[in-house]
């Protein structure tokens, strides 16, 4: 039986600590979230952030635009929030519609308010192992491992996925903790062997339950980053096909083999939200 890395429980403990810290501050730490369009998944993520933020006593401003918004309008509003001393963090909810220039919008955010840790300045700080705002998912994974006293120093860590949002920053954050990193991706040959050899396997490929028992070995720690919405069972004709959230790991198959595993939902997801607000508090403390 594997140890279950309960991100939800760790998140709740972090929320308590954050609430105490926030209650002692002069102003409410404030996060502005820019959303363009009405993607249901983005709206759900924003709702989670709002709920968590309000729960710890922070303020979350949802700036919601129609798909037709222009790059110039967004740049102007990001610029205003950059200059507003009452706003301490700014994030741009991804993905954005095709007509917008994502990189330019990310770079428009002042690095000190970039609580998603995606600007070139914060990326370079992570690259150089200097203090800065680390992307929330990477930070959340570190905090989850720390909570369960799972040291990464010297360990072989395989990360499947090389996105700027998850795979690369997670690799750098763990490298900075002296892990030995292997980044796998869609062109990696013999992925099963690569995965089996790791001490810690981090799955961030966005493929529902892709990691089966054939990818893992005894004693491993498995971190499942994936959030995939898949069709559930149809119960009868009255009820439309239900959708459920699964990870990148086939939990049922993998859990009996490995030493520890984070579930989906309830693992990395809640840690990511908590980490975002850890970043917001950091940004608040360094304001000015
Ligand atoms: N839990 C959280 O808080 C959280 C936060 C963010 C994202 N997520 C989830 O994490 C997953 C990854 O997100 P992302 O934004 O990094 O996705 P992404 O940008 O689509 O990147 C996926 C990565 O996985 C690799 N990949 C895809 N299929 C593969 C395969 N069959 N074998 C090996 N590698 C493969 C891709 O390789 P190539 O580069 O070669 O194409 C790419 O590097 C998604 O399910 C997403 O919803 C969760």
Interval between CA 66 and ligand 1 midpoint (Å)? 27
Antiparallel, parallel or unpaired: β 228-231 and 156-160: unpaired
Render pLDDT for 64-110 as a digit per residue (tens, 0 to 9): 999 999 999 999 999 999 999 999 999 999 999 999 999 999 999 99
Interval between CA 287 and ligand 1 midpoint (Å)? 33
- Other CB atoms within a 10 A radius of the CB of residue 153 amount to 9
Q: Is 49 a catalytic residue?
A: yes
- Other CB atoms within a 10 A radius of the CB of residue 181 amount to 19
Render pLDDT for 161-210 as a digit per residue (tens, 0 to 9): 999 999 999 999 999 999 999 999 999 999 999 999 999 999 999 999 99
Q: Is 190 a catalytic residue?
A: no
Task: State residue 288's pLDDT score.
Answer: 58
Beta strands in the chain (DSSP E): 3-4, 30-36, 59-65, 89-92, 156-160, 180-184, 200-203, 221-224, 228-231, 243-246, 260-261
Task: State residue 1's pLDDT score.
Answer: 87
Q: Is 35 a catalytic residue?
A: no
Task: State residue 236's pLDDT score.
Answer: 46
What pTM does this model have? 0.95
């Amino acid at each position: 039986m594997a140890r279950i890395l309960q991100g939800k429980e760790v998140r709740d403990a972090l929320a308590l600590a954050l609430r105490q810290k926030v209650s002692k501050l002069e102003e409410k730490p404030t996060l502005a979230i820019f959303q363009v369009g009405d993607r249901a998944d983005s709206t759900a993520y924003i709702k989670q952030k709002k709920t968590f933020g309000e729960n710890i006593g922070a303020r979350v401003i949802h700036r919601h635009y129609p798909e037709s918004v222009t790059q110039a309008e967004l740049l102007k509003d990001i610029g205003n929030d950059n200059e507003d001393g009452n706003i301490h963090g700014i994030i741009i909810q991804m993905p954005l519609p095709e007509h917008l220039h994502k990189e330019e919008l990310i770079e428009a955010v002042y690095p000190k308010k970039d609580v998603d840790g995606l600007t070139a300045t914060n990326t370079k700080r992570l690259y150089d192992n200097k203090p800065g705002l680390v992307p929330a998912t990477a930070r959340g994974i570190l905090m989850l491992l720390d909570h369960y006293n799972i040291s990464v120093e010297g360990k072989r860590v395989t990360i499947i996925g090389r996105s700027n949002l998850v795979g690369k920053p997670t690799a750098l954050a763990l490298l900075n903790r002296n892990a030995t990193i292997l980044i796998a991706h869609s062109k990696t040959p013999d992925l099963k062997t690569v995965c089996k050899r790791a001490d810690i396997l981090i799955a961030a490929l966005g493929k529902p339950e892709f990691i089966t028992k054939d990818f893992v070995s005894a004693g491993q720690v498995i971190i499942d980053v994936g959030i995939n919405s898949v069709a559930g069972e149809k119960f009868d004709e009255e009820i439309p096909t239900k959708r459920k959230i699964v990870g990148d790991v086939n939990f049922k198959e993998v859990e009996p083999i490995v030493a520890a595993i984070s579930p989906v939902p309830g693992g990395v997801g809640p840690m990511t939200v908590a980490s975002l607000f850890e970043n917001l508090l950091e940004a608040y403390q360094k304001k000015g």
